[in-house]
Structure 1
Amino acid sequence: MTPDKKADFSGVSANVDTTAEKVEKADFSGVSASVDTTAEKVGEQTYTVVKGDTLSGIAKQFYGKAGKWNAIFDANRDQLDDPDRIQPGQVLKIPVLDD
């Protein structure tokens, strides 16, 4: 997929049948669920810088850790020479990090 594409769920459909008796209520006490990120499947994201943004703030927003700012800086070397000089309106690539 290209970086601008989002996952396409337009062809997804669902059908639910019940095995519970109509008089009884379904017991979901043993049900658990987990969600894995789709970031690897969707690919790189972009972010448009707004006034007051810093690379560490953007990194915290996307990665949960401000210390990952250098990944964003490295991915945008084509338009950034100094990590302290990002400008409102710049569209930065936000790379998917390898854990």
Structure 2
Amino acid sequence: MSNGKPDFSNVQGSVQSTGEIKPDFSNVESKVTSTAQINEGGGGGGGEQTYTVAKGDTLSHIAKELYGKAGKWHAIYDANRDVIGDNPDKIYPGQVLKIPAIED
């Protein structure tokens, strides 16, 4: 029985984009831990240890984690001036830093 109005009761629709979908990695976090012991006093020859900077890291944070003392950040900075440049606050995620052995 037709009442003169079109019947759309069985119409289905969908939407697809032809644009490129870019993944959102803004909430990705990483952490690097090592089972290697840092050679105190520079002796030993265990090879050079490195640390990959994670989001939110600072040189003080890295020094506290690796040396147990945040104040030892200067040793990391001095060993990486060629990578970091003149501003020790300008480190970024993914940057690989050399971790020198330190003397207490």
TM-score, normalised relative to structure 1: 0.59
Equivalent of 2:79 in 59, 75, 82? 75
Q: Please state if 1:85 is matched with 2:90.
A: yes
Cα distance in 2 for residues equivalent to 1:38 and 1:54: 19
Residues 43, 96 of structure 1: 8 Å contact kept: no
Is the alpha carbon distance of 1:91 and 1:38 closer, same or farther for their aligned partners in structure 2, counting shifts above 3 Å? closer
Equivalent of 1:60 in 53, 58, 64? 64
1:1-99 alignment, distance < 5 Å = 39=39, 40-41=43-44, 42-81=46-85, 82-99=87-104
Segments of 5+ residues of structure 1 without an aligned counterpart are 1-6, 8-36
One-letter identity of the residue aligned with 1:50: A
Q: Where do 4+ consecutive residues of structure 1 move more than 6 Å?
A: none
Residues 38, 101 of structure 2: 8 Å contact kept: no
Segments of 5+ residues of structure 2 without an aligned counterpart are 1-35
What is the CA-CA distance between 1:38 and the residue it aligns to?
6.4
Question: How far does the alpha carbon of each residue in 1:10-62 deviate from its partner, in whole angstroms, 9 at most, with x for none?
Answer: xxxxxxxxxxxxxxxxxxxxxxxxxxx66242143100001000000000011
What's the RMSD between the two structures over aligned residues?
Answer: 2.1
Bigger CA radius of gyration = 2
One-letter identity of the residue aligned with 2:65: Q
